[in-house]
Structure 1
Amino acid sequence: MRTAYSVETVRAAERELMARLPEGALMQRAAAGLAAACADVLGRVYGSRVVLLIGSGDNGGDALYAGARLARRGAGVTAVLLAPERTHPGGLAALRRAGGTLVTPGAAEQIVRRADLVVDGIVGIGGKGGLRPDAAPLAELAADSRAAVVAVDLPSGIEADTGEVLGAAVRADLTVTFGTHKPGLLIDPAREYAGSVRLVDIGLELPDQAELEALQHADVAARLPVPGAASDKYRRGVLGVAAGSARYPGAAVLAVSGALRGGAGAVRYVGPAGDAVIAAFPETLVSDKGPHKAGRVQAWVVGPGAGDDASAVAEVLAAEVPVLVDADGLRLAERGAVRARSAPTLMTPHAGEAAALLGVSRAVVEGARLASVRELAGLYGATVLLKGATTLVADAGGGVVRVNSTGTAWLATAGSGDVLSGLAGSLLAAGLSAVDAGSVAAYVHGLAGRFAADGAPAGAHDVASAIPAAWRDIRD
């Protein structure tokens, strides 16, 4: 599992470690890892042209020491100093001894345009509000050049703790981060600026409780439900699906398709799209008498394509089993009814739906995804899965947020969210917690999207069909 820690936690761990190490040793560890990563990007160090963009903080020191290492291997290294009087003195001396060149920003344009590699050491993890006016043109130069851009610890200008981008920022091809991931490297929109991320271990001792978690194959495999020898369809969990309408029968079919592939033993469908569901999936148990007469279930999914059927939403929310609320259900669910529930509730909005629930614009949610998912979880007293290029899952208790990025842009297709709802609901019925059901479903769904698309457009039904392949890939 990948974990990410806040700036405050990282700085406390760094102070504790530096108190036990010789002066400057921690920076040398970081510089060695950074130089090795830069060498890998260059392929051939000797004769390459490297430009360092240097601010006044320790990130600038890391870049200078790394540049000195590259210069000693035969690279031509030039440092562009944004604050010459406040540049890290030890790093500056090391680069000079290694034969590096120093210039001011006014002389940077041609140097950057000819570079093979640009190292971003402008601002560290404490930077706020985007790049200053004197640094922003350097970020633009690097983006327009042919050089690979490597960011030190995180791209300058992004918000380390939140993933927000509040002004100009460096766009990196690779970010070399030290000790641990920072939340901004895993959350959009800042994640888009980080490129690939390489973690360098510098010996930090961090607390068990992280701010952010990202599941990996082994973590998901350990959470996937597996039937035992004594299992039957009821012991495996039965999921109820209240979805679809005369106008949107396909939403019901897609939600059921995700549910049947999600590990539950049986799926009960309730709603007006029973004929379409049975035609596609004859194994589904269909009823038209409302959720309260559907029979025993271990969890419900309500809302996909439901139109204005508020009665079904109210009935489901009154059930004493875990409930997943999606799509139209989010609009129809009363906040008080959700907060009053004793059983777990998982809400799965996209940015537009989250914005409507919070009373803000979609742009606000997309620009501050971490804050938005936490606020929504607290407001409704529920676990919230905020869909997007990176999916965030937060519980109402304000604990660790899960982040997932296994998906593909091809998942931005009609009905994809219905499949996800069915899949996550099935995991709820199988006994997973709301946080695990949401984060595991997002991981499997994203991987299935990759398998289904394989570089080409794919429909939601293709994604559902690829869930077994994703499941096997994770288990194997």
Structure 2
Amino acid sequence: MAVVMNIFKTDEIKSADNAYTNGDFERLTALITRAGESVCEYIPEGASEILIVSGTGNNGADGLAAAYYLKKIGYNPTVWILGRKPELNKTMTFFADKLAKENIGVNIITPVSDNGLILHILDDIKKSDVVIDAIFGTGFGGDLLPLFEIVINYINDYKKFTISVDIPSGVNGDTGSVLSTAIYADITVTFCNYKPGNILMPGKEYCGKVYVADIGMPSKLFETAAEKRISEKKFYQCFADNKADRTSVKQLIFNRNPYGHKGDFGKVLIIAGAEGMTGAAQLCAKAALRSGAGLVYIACPRKLLTIYETTVPEAVKIPLGTEESSFFTDEFTDELIKFSKNADVVLIGPGLGRKDETETFVRNFVKRSEKCSLIIDADALYAYRNDIETLKNDLESTDFVITPHDGEFSNLTGEPAPFKDRLTLARQLAYYLNGNVLLKGSSTIIANCTNGFTVNLTGNSGIATAGSGDVLAGIIAGIAASNNVSIYEAAYCGAYIHGLSGDIAADKLTEICVNATDIIENLANAYKRVIKDV
């Protein structure tokens, strides 16, 4: 199995740094020099007035190294250091001395500096074409002093072309959460690998375009960390629309038996769609069928049977109740439990409605389902609002993924939205439930109970549309049923394919015009891109 190991947390990066430098100052400064040079590759053509604003840690040293390199290639950068105190550490002093030999003055400003200095740096910001932000690195987690807030806000207010070193100052490297303010970068040059803060909202929004620079750290240092995670079943990974990630997805979900029949490619039971919301079940079924499922069954109140016979002819229908039955009730539970024992995957929730009788049915069905993989979405999650303990108990013997958006997550857990640290919340819930959580949103997070996670980077604003979540649930169901993968792998591959299909649809239609049906209609193109790498 190929796994893309390309997210590393700040403590792992620090450990790799320490292992590589091992107290060797010359090796450390060489690393910082390469980091500074890599940042300079992204200076836009035609820029002349370049301002470097550094902090006093190694991130600040990266900024000074960038200034030194810029001088060598013909620029005359302006350099400011923001610090809590005027003293510089050994590394900063080393690079400041190098700048002095090149006749580049280094201005130091602290919270006790007089107003004249503050006005001076603000004037330099105003005059600059490009600002290189090297104030804080990925490991910073304290509070911003007023001086730092003033400088950061001024850079943002003047909308200077800004390049952040490793991560925008004010963004938490491990969570993507933002302090009282943060740099809005046009480009972020991060080193060696992505950090969570580069790809998780809201930090992702502040990063702009993210480039990963190779600064000469031996890959074996990161491979060791990756191997340790694999042994512990802790996958920290992200998937984007690139060759490496498409290959990983392809190796997981495109291993169909050329001699197989429909029974070999899995059976999906869909429990969705009350009267007035039958579109949800239709979208789920069509997405599952387009995602490889050999057989898809739609369980439906008998009154709604004709709708599904007309709209999803490929699916097998399971009519329930009387001719007047229009929503799910507990009288359907026994029959559906029997059907579920012959299914590989059960998808429950989209469009079920929120009647008391339906909520009773959901709870009883979930509690009794144990022979198949379970995808719990939408109204099935609402049935457990403010009762996460019962959900945990009901899922005790089930292989499952729950797929909430932020509002549903908040209803389940009581955690008020918007969330400052979506990654930690998703991981905590997965651990508590002893299962898998797919937290939908920009940069969807898929967390498992062994403390691993995947962040999906495909998709766009166009897929934030009614029915899109139903399509995602159906894709996951189809992948889980038709491939020899875990429900966790099906979930992150499903999120990837869903977003990729949305991207292809948006290319054709614009993000404004994409709807849920467009995502389904472009699934074939998404799968083709993965299979053929086009």
1:461 partnered with 2:517:
yes
Task: Give CA deviations for 1:401-441 in whole Å, capped at 9, x if unaligned.
Answer: 10002010111111100000111111121232121111000
Equivalent of residue 496 in structure 2, options 434, 439, 443: 443
Distance 2:396 2:478 in 1: 20
Secondary structure in structure 1 of the residue aligned to 2:77: strand
Q: Letter of the aligned partner of 2:42 in structure 1?
A: D
- Aligned residue in 1 for 2:400: 345
- Report the CA distance between 1:6 and its aligned residue: 2.0
Task: Give CA deviations for 1:74-103 in whole Å, capped at 9, x if unaligned.
Answer: 112011122343361111112222232333
- Aligned residue in 1 for 2:310: 279
The number of equivalent residue pairs is 470
Secondary structure in structure 1 of the residue aligned to 2:291: coil
- Aligned residue in 2 for 1:213: 237
- Aligned residue in 2 for 1:305: 351
- Aligned residue in 1 for 2:175: 162
Distance 1:317 1:441, change over 3 A: farther
CA contact (8 A) 2:377 2:404 kept: yes
CA contact (8 A) 1:170 1:193 kept: yes
CA contact (8 A) 1:30 1:200 kept: no
Secondary structure in structure 2 of the residue aligned to 1:40: coil
CA contact (8 A) 1:71 1:77 kept: yes
The 5-angstrom pairing of residues 162-311 of structure 1 reads 162-201=175-214, 202-204=216-218, 205-206=221-222, 207-208=225-226, 209=229, 212-215=236-239, 216-272=245-301, 273-289=304-320, 290=332, 291-294=336-339, 296-307=342-353, 308=355, 309-310=358-359, 311=361
- Aligned residue in 2 for 1:318: 368
- Aligned residue in 2 for 1:97: 101
Secondary structure in structure 2 of the residue aligned to 1:56: coil
- Report the CA distance between 1:338 and its aligned residue: 4.6
- Report the CA distance between 1:464 and its aligned residue: 1.2
- Aligned residue in 2 for 1:55: 55
Equivalent of residue 3 in structure 1, options 6, 11, 21: 6
Distance 1:176 1:244, change over 3 A: same
Distance 1:27 1:288 in 2: 71
Secondary structure in structure 2 of the residue aligned to 1:367: coil
- Report the CA distance between 1:337 and its aligned residue: 5.4
Distance 2:442 2:306 in 1: 34
CA contact (8 A) 1:259 1:422 kept: yes
Distance 1:73 1:99, change over 3 A: farther
CA contact (8 A) 1:129 1:157 kept: no
Distance 1:147 1:39 in 2: 17
Pick which of 100-109 and 410-419 moved more.
100-109
The 5-angstrom pairing of residues 378-457 of structure 1 reads 378-398=431-451, 400-430=452-482, 431-454=484-507, 455=510, 456-457=512-513
1:373 partnered with 2:402:
no
Secondary structure in structure 2 of the residue aligned to 1:218: helix
TM-score when normalising by structure 2: 0.83
- Report the CA distance between 1:397 and its aligned residue: 2.4
- Report the CA distance between 1:37 and its aligned residue: 3.5
CA contact (8 A) 1:163 1:183 kept: yes
CA contact (8 A) 1:117 1:149 kept: yes
CA contact (8 A) 2:36 2:64 kept: no
- Report the CA distance between 1:393 and its aligned residue: 0.6
Distance 1:27 1:156, change over 3 A: farther
Q: Letter of the aligned partner of 2:236 in structure 1?
A: L
Pick which of 215-224 and 93-102 moved more.
93-102
- Report the CA distance between 1:129 and its aligned residue: 3.9
- Alpha-carbon RMSD: 2.0
- Aligned residue in 2 for 1:474: 530
- Aligned residue in 1 for 2:328: none
- Report the CA distance between 1:262 and its aligned residue: 1.3
Pick which of 23-32 and 333-342 moved more.
333-342
Distance 1:39 1:76 in 2: 16
- Aligned residue in 1 for 2:33: 31
Equivalent of residue 119 in structure 1, options 132, 135, 142: 132
Q: Letter of the aligned partner of 2:260 in structure 1?
A: S
1:150 partnered with 2:205:
no
Q: Letter of the aligned partner of 1:409 in structure 2?
A: S
- Aligned residue in 2 for 1:359: 414
Task: Give CA deviations for 1:294-347 in whole Å, capped at 9, x if unaligned.
Answer: 472111000001113231553255231000000001122574455444331110
Distance 1:149 1:245 in 2: 51
Unmatched 5+ stretches in structure 1: none
- Aligned residue in 2 for 1:77: 77
- Report the CA distance between 1:2 and its aligned residue: 4.7
Secondary structure in structure 1 of the residue aligned to 2:351: coil
CA contact (8 A) 1:78 1:101 kept: yes
Q: Letter of the aligned partner of 1:4 in structure 2?
A: I
Q: Letter of the aligned partner of 1:28 in structure 2?
A: A
Distance 2:291 2:368 in 1: 24
Distance 2:492 2:32 in 1: 32
- Report the CA distance between 1:367 and its aligned residue: 1.5
- Aligned residue in 2 for 1:86: 88
Distance 1:49 1:35, change over 3 A: farther
Task: Give CA deviations for 1:251-276 in whole Å, capped at 9, x if unaligned.
Answer: 11111121111111110000234332
Distance 1:114 1:81 in 2: 17
Distance 1:380 1:266 in 2: 29
- Report the CA distance between 1:472 and its aligned residue: 0.6
Q: Letter of the aligned partner of 2:337 in structure 1?
A: H
Secondary structure in structure 2 of the residue aligned to 1:271: strand
- Report the CA distance between 1:146 and its aligned residue: 4.8
Distance 1:95 1:277 in 2: 73
- Report the CA distance between 1:184 and its aligned residue: 1.1
- Report the CA distance between 1:390 and its aligned residue: 0.8
Pick which of 64-73 and 26-35 moved more.
26-35
Unmatched 5+ stretches in structure 2: 110-116, 240-244, 321-331
CA contact (8 A) 1:152 1:176 kept: yes
